[in-house]
Structure 1
Amino acid sequence: MKISIISNLYPPHVLGGYELGCAEIAERVAQAGHEVEVLTSRVVGRLHRLHEPVGTARIKRIFAALFEYEKQPALHTSPEWHTRYERAQAGTIPANVSALLEQWKAFRPDVVWAFNIVGLGTLGILECLAYAGYPTVIHHMDFLDVPLGAHQAPPGRVARAKARLTAISCSEFTREKNEELGGYGKHLVIPNGIQFPTTTPSSVPPRERDDGIFSFICFGQITQEKGIVELLTAFQHLLSIRPGRKIHLTIQGPCHSPPFLDSLRARILRDGLSDAVTLAGPVPKEELLASLSRYDAAVMLLNTHEAFGYAPLEASAAGLPVIFPRNSGVGSFLPEGDPLLLRERDNARSTAETMARCVDHPAWAADHAQRQREVLVQVCDLEKAVLPAYLDVLRSLTPSPPVRHLEAALLTNARMVEDHQIWQSAAA
């Protein structure tokens, strides 16, 4: 198949797991023999940069996106910037509509697979997906209806476009959030996937260390929304209820807010946690995953609105017992009674007691890690379960009748079309 993939961001420009997940899927599909063309943004401002992708998928950076204005913070206070922001989040960016339709005309895809379209002139791209006449699926690893609703996209237009499309969501929670502004013609739940190691980590007690330290790791983006402050509170409580034990917590990942990072360092120093907590910066993903064998357990409180959460899945694949909230996307795929799933993310006492159970019973924790892993590998192994499910969806897609003169129709209906020239110059 000739597959056109759309993602607002794509490596080396990375905000979080969405872009990395999209890139891995694109490469796996291309390696399976399909012709894959990824359409993404050119300039994306102050985002975490990884290495340039090298692979089989062809990447074309054709879009002007809101993110390029991040490198000019002074613009954020101007009326002109806010006009563009509204357009990027819930309106139509004419230059992006034109670029997308022109690229499709040249490539002539068999199917279109859209990932995150927020920031590209979300409504305009959504209507391109719905009315251009290509078999199309929109893939939600986050929430599309939230920015559309918050920035007052015309609800009738959103609902009509969605009704013509097939959608995939990575969890039931994500599916529900993406039906708030209208239902899709068909909406499936397929979890995100990763490549599980071909060898299963042994079910053995934690590694014997000379220092006798039980070591936890939390990895991913370091943000307030990810519950890092609440985790420090829980860890401090853990130390107070297990005063004789040597316990360490590593928090590893990128932090895009220097003030928040400074506040965490001050908190650790103030509470006397400097010897027990390490704040570590980002490392390449391969290096991070290889390092997980040095830890005894993973704990991550995640965002209260986490669509899925790759980090718990990656920790489980490495053989670690994982403590994380039940209401996260990936948590819904584990049994209801899993003793390491947290019912209340912000309950420091409950989190500390769950961590203490692992510290007190390391052999049990190691055995339970294998039980968690056995469940997740059945539904989240990228090669064996997830990718085949995706390809089945792509093969089942049928086109909706195209709208004649689509570009003219979309630009006529665009909100604030008078800034067409601004966006054209931004895309140049």
Structure 2
Amino acid sequence: MDKLRILIITNLYPPQVIGGYERAIADYARLLHHRGHTVLVLTSNTEEYTNTTYTNQEPKPVVYRGLHLCGEWTKQGTHWFSLEEVASRTFLNRQIVAQELQTFQPDVCLAGNIDFLGLELLEKMLADGIPIAHYVMNATPGYISELTPKSQLHQYITCSNWIRDSLKQHGYPVNTTQTIYPGAAVEEFYQTELPPRDRLRIAYASLVMPYKGADILIEALSLLDTGGMEFSATIAGGTLIPEFTLALQEFVESEGMQDKVKFPGALSRQELKQLYQTHNVLVFPSRFQEPFGISQVEAMAAGLTLVTSGTGGAGEIVQHSKDGLVFESENPLDLADVLCSLPVSPTEWERITRAGQQRAMSDLSQLHTIEQLESVLFKLVSIKI
């Protein structure tokens, strides 16, 4: 068997997205389809999370948006529907999965984010003898460790060693777990010429949310401005808390930095590439334990210097002063010091940047990821046979 019938189950799928998890699973679906596998994506139709700036590339796999989520994401966090509603939606989801197993007849399942979908769907497939590779890009797979499927046909894939260690600490079995870095479309973002380094041109490209640390960067920029450092900065990204972005903008104006700091909102993929062409540093100031952080790899491929808080799995992307720079999380003074160090040593700045670009292109490409993922799927199918 050289080609597989792959069922992908995930709660959201582009253009309905919240963050990088959905985009990564969509990229794998597209790449597996492009490599000749027959791919069916089974997901929900949750239009309130539609992000029109995200477009998936051709060729596209078949996507069926028939599943029903059992909860929603709010400003306060996750919210489950009533027990009666959850029971009703779970029953409908089991029927849909049973129907697709009968008509599509997959060889293997790649599970993504199953939050608000429930473990029952995976248990149904395992009961029917369908192997499952669950690609975990959150601290937990969406259920408590005691409910982990016991079948040898079930295997976790983690997006970083930090996630694998987190699973182990929470009691999940990780004996067969393999870490596969998500990788990025590095060829798409690669620039042969490094962006000009005449002064600090700082980019932020992530959700503009408190846990992502945009406020830490803004505070560091204020310190740069007070110290007379020449810079410009772009804070790109959408938000689920508009008042947080507004507060950042008001602070920028109060500090007199409105001509130096711009807030363009969420960017399309093409707009993101254009952003990287005019900036030379990406700051990734996340204050929470990141599973990975694909935007960092994209920027490195484009020739930007990565300056990161290195929290969680993000700490596995670069080594400080080798191919990127790491600052103390939630410390704007340390971030400002790291940023200031770049213009004073142009030769060292270029060396770190080129090493980062090489790291992205050689070790963190989607091609490398998909080859590893394909190997896991074939291995699971061979166990079934």
Unaligned runs of 5+ in 1: 150-154, 402-428
Amino acid at match of 2:206: G
Q: Is the 8 A contact 2:14 2:23 kept in 1?
A: yes
Say if 1:167 and 1:184, in contact at 8 Å, map to a contact too: yes
Q: In structure 2, what is the Cα distance between the partners aligned to 1:239 and 1:390?
A: 46
* 8 Å contact kept, 1:164–1:185: no
2:16 corresponds in structure 1 to 13
Counterpart contact for 2:280–2:303, Cα < 8 Å: no
What number of residue pairs does the alignment pair up? 378
- Alignment of 1:107 with 2:104, yes or no, is yes
**1:363-407 CA distances to partner (integer Å, 9 max, x unpaired)?**
432331110121232221112x21111111111114788xxxxxx
Q: After the TM superposition, which of the residue ranges 100-109 and 329-338 deviates more from structure 2?
A: 329-338
Aligned to 2:186: 196
Distance 1:316 1:162, change over 3 A: farther
Which residue, 220, 243, 246 being the options, matches 1:262? 246
Tell me, in whole angstroms, the C-alpha distance in 2 between the residues paired with 1:239 and 1:162: 58
1:280 is paired with a residue of what secondary structure? Answer: strand
Residue 191 of structure 1 contacts residue 380 of structure 1 at CA under 8 Å; is this kept in 2?
yes
User: Which residue of structure 2 lines up, in the alignment, with residue 30 of structure 1?
Assistant: 33
The aligned residue for residue 316 of structure 1 is 300
Q: Which residue, out of 265, 276, 281, partners 1:281?
A: 265
Correspondence 1:97 to 2:71: no
**Which of 223, 231, 234 is equivalent to 2:209?**
223
**Distance change >3 Å, CA 34–CA 206, structure 1 → 2:** same
Relative contact order: is structure 1 or structure 2 higher (C-alpha 8 Å, sep ≥ 6)?
1
Sort the Cα spacing of 1:369 and 1:161 in 2 relative to 1 into closer, same or farther, 3 A.
same
205 and 42 in structure 1: CA distance in 2 versus 1, 3 angstrom threshold: closer
Query: Which of 342, 366, 377 in structure 2 is aligned with 1:394?
Result: 377
* 1:123 alignment partner, one of 94, 119, 127: 119
Question: 8 Å contact 1:113–1:137 — kept in the other structure?
Answer: yes
Could you give the per-residue CA deviations for residues 205-224 of structure 1, whole angstroms, max 9, x where no partner exists?
Answer: 7255xxxx531111111111
Q: Distance in 2 between matches of 1:140 and 1:129?
A: 18
Q: Take 2:287 and 2:91, find their aligned partners in 1: how far apart are those partners?
A: 34
Give the stretch that moved more between structures: 10-19 or 198-207. 198-207
Pick one of 55, 60, 80 that aligns with 1:56: 60
Identity score, percent: 23
Contact 2:5-2:106 within 8 A present in 1 as well? yes
Between the aligned partners of 1:303 and 1:127, the Cα distance in structure 2 is 35
Shift, 1:171, TM fit: 0.3
RMSD: 3.0
Check conservation: 1:135, 1:399, Cα contact below 8 A: no
> Residue type of the partner of 1:102?
Q
User: Could you tell me which of 167, 170, 179 is aligned with 1:178?
Assistant: 167
Query: For residues 336 and 165 of structure 2, what CA distance do their matches in structure 1 show?
Result: 31
Q: In structure 2, what is the Cα distance between the partners aligned to 1:198 and 1:289? A: 9
Contact kept in structure 2, 1:300 and 1:323, CA below 8 Å: yes
Give the distance between the partners of 1:107 and 1:206, measured in 2 at CA: 51
Shift of 1:82: 4.5
CA distance in 1: counterparts of 2:114 and 2:73, whole angstroms: 18
Which among 316, 329, 337 is matched to residue 332 of structure 1?
316
Q: Counterpart of 2:106 in structure 1: which amino acid?
A: P
> Secondary structure at the residue paired with 1:14?
coil
Deviates more, 1:166-175 or 1:280-289: 280-289
1:134–1:400 contact (8 Å) kept in structure 2 = no
Structure with the largest fraction of helix: 1
Provide Cα deviations, 1:328-369, integer angstroms capped at 9, x if missing partner.
Answer: 424314336548432521111111111111232344323311
Amino acid at match of 1:165: H
Q: How far apart are the structure 2 equivalents of 1:349 and 1:130? A: 51
CA distance in 1, matches of 2:152, 2:303: 42
Deviation at 1:66, TM superposition (A): 3.8
Question: Residue 341 and residue 372 in structure 1: after superposition, are their counterparts in 2 closer, same or farther (change >3 A)?
Answer: same
TM-score by length of 2: 0.88
* Residue pair 1:316, 1:369 contacting (<8 A) in 2 also: yes
Cα separation, 1, equivalents of 2:246 and 2:28 = 36
Instruction: Structure 2: give runs of 5+ residues left out of the alignment.
Output: none
Letter in 2 for 1:33: G
Letter in 1 for 2:259: D
